[in-house]
Structure formats: structure tokens, C-alpha cells
Amino acid sequence: MSEKSAELEMAVAANRAAWDASARLHHGNALWQELAEGFAKPGFSTFDATMTRTLDGLELQGLSGVQVGCNNGRETLSLAAFGAERCLGIDQSAEFLKQAALLKDIAGASCDFLCADIYALPDGIRRDFDFAVITIGVLGWMPDLGRFFQAVAGLLRPGGRLVIYETHPFLEMFEPESETPHLPAYSYFSTGPFVAEQAITYDGSAKQAAPPSYWHSHTLSGIVMALIRAGLQVSRFEEHAHSNRETCFDVYENQEAQLPMSFTLVARREDG
């Protein structure tokens, strides 16, 4: 095995352990209660207004979708509200997929979940999805974007579309909890890995120790070029002034000198 592959495998395995160890902190709290109550009602969706507009525009009625890095499945389940059918959520955290199974039961949904590393998908899985979804907080867990987008493109039928709604890479330069949150703290070009040894929560509230996790920053050109090389043709790209991540990043919203904070990208598998 090459040194690069060994490094990738180490980071992916460490991240699996870190996400599994953090899962219990995402269950039984107010956010979980909201999800459980929401999915008890038909047509519930957790997507925000921006992603809702994007998905509405893609006319997903009757189409099959796959979400990579689905976590507790809230968004895979939400795709039903847009008319999508036969959806699959993929995540490598078995502990989060237990939560997805609970939400699926509450919703009475027909989608499926697969516990797998995107870099080592099992043989024999469906590879003809009409669309794929990647949202907030997935790309940074990927040590190798080239191999990542090859795997994602391989899940789509020819002509299938990929939708990304992610954090804008510029935001990775800032540290909202520092004493000088508005000064750049990290080089745009430092790829990491940034190693954290704290439980992973979305509001940064948990400070307890957890297995080390490996975060990789990617530049915008790195993201776009990796998907072009994977045979995906960009058809839409929008940068947004609003945040779609932890609430501590809200300090960068509504500024006179506004940073780009999130982006939407739609691409199509070229051979379609």
C-alpha cells in the first residue's frame, strides 16, 4: 500500500471512531426531539430555504437519490418531501445510522441506509441514482477529494446530477471563538489535516475528550477541479452570504465587508 493510501485509511478509520464516539451526544437532546416530532408529520423536511429552492428547481418527483455522509439520515429522509423515491443514505458511522433507523421508523419512510466508507464502497450496490446530495460538513472529512468525487460520480447514472450545499472554503480561514474572530487565523492554502481531540457536536458545546479526528480544508478550485476530473460538469454555482454551519459562525453574517459563507453547486455526470 502506498504511503498516501495508508494515510487516507488511517484518517478515515480515526474519523469513524470519532463520529461513533460522539453519536450519543446527538441523541435525546432538544434537537433530537425536534427531529422526532417533525418526522412524525408527513412532508417534513430539515432543509433550509436555500437548499429547498435548489431541490425544488431540480424537480425530483419520482427520482432516486443518494446522500453521501448522511449522518443521522435527517436529510435523506427529507428528500421524500420533494417527491424523491428509493433514496439511499451512506455513512460510515454505525452509531449515527442507528439514529437514522429510529427516524426512519418514526417517518414510516421507505429509504435505505448503508454503513460504508465512501472510499471503500461494497461491490454490488446500486450505481444508477438520478441524483446525489452532499451537504454541510462532509467535504472536510475527505482526505482525498479526487477519489471522493470519483466514488460519488460512480453512484450516478449517466446524466445524473450532483448537488452540493457546503461551507465556503474562505470560512475555514477564520476561528470564530478566538479573541480576534475577524482576523484570518489560517492560511487559505493549508490543507491540514487539522487534528481535534474533542467530541464532535454542531454547536461546539461538548468539550469532552474523544478519539482524534482529522479535518482537511480544501480550496474552492480544489473542489471544482476534483469534480471536473471525476467527469462531472458544473451547471450551477452560487456563493451565499449566509452560514449553514455551527451557530458560532453567525458572527460573520450581515457584515459590511461580507465573506462568502456557503455555496451551492450542481453538476451533471458528463456521459449522459
Ligand X SMILES: C[S@@+](CC[C@H](N)C(=O)[O-])C[C@H]1O[C@@H](n2cnc3c(N)ncnc32)[C@H](O)[C@@H]1O
What does the binding site for ligand X look like in residue numbers (CB under 6 A)?
12, 15, 19, 69, 71, 74-75, 90-93, 96, 117-119, 135-138, 141
Q: Which residue has the closest beta carbon to ligand X?
A: 137
Smallest gap from residue 72 Cβ to ligand X (A)? 6
The amino acid that residue 105 corresponds to is D
Nearer to ligand X, 136 or 265 (CB): 136
Query: Rounded to an integer, what distance in angstroms lies between the CA atom of residue 121 and that of residue 92?
Result: 10
Nearer to ligand X, 130 or 166 (CB): 166
Smallest gap from residue 6 Cβ to ligand X (A)? 15
Smallest gap from residue 193 Cβ to ligand X (A)? 12
Segments in the chain forming alpha helices (H):
3-22, 30-39, 49-58, 74-78, 94-107, 145-153, 220-229
Smallest gap from residue 179 Cβ to ligand X (A)? 27
Peptide bond into 193 cis (omega under 30): yes
Asked if residues 56 and 81 have their Cβ atoms less than 8 Å apart, the reply is: no
Q: Which class for 202: exposed (0-12), middle (13-18), buried (19 or more C-beta within 10 A)?
A: middle
Nearest to 78 by CA among 165, 148, 159, 18: 165
Nearer to ligand X, 23 or 58 (CB): 23
Nearer to ligand X, 63 or 79 (CB): 79
Asked if residues 140 and 217 have their Cβ atoms less than 8 Å apart, the reply is: yes
Smallest gap from residue 157 Cβ to ligand X (A)? 21
Could you tell me how many residues make up the chain?
A: 272
Nearer to ligand X, 144 or 184 (CB): 144
Nearest to 151 by CA among 140, 135, 162: 162
Collapsed DSSP state (helix, strand, coil) of residue 111: coil
Contacts of 132 (CB under 8 A, 6+ apart): 65, 66, 67, 68, 152, 155, 156, 160, 161, 162, 163
Nearer to ligand X, 136 or 199 (CB): 136
Smallest gap from residue 256 Cβ to ligand X (A)? 30
Nearer to ligand X, 137 or 233 (CB): 137
Smallest gap from residue 238 Cβ to ligand X (A)? 18
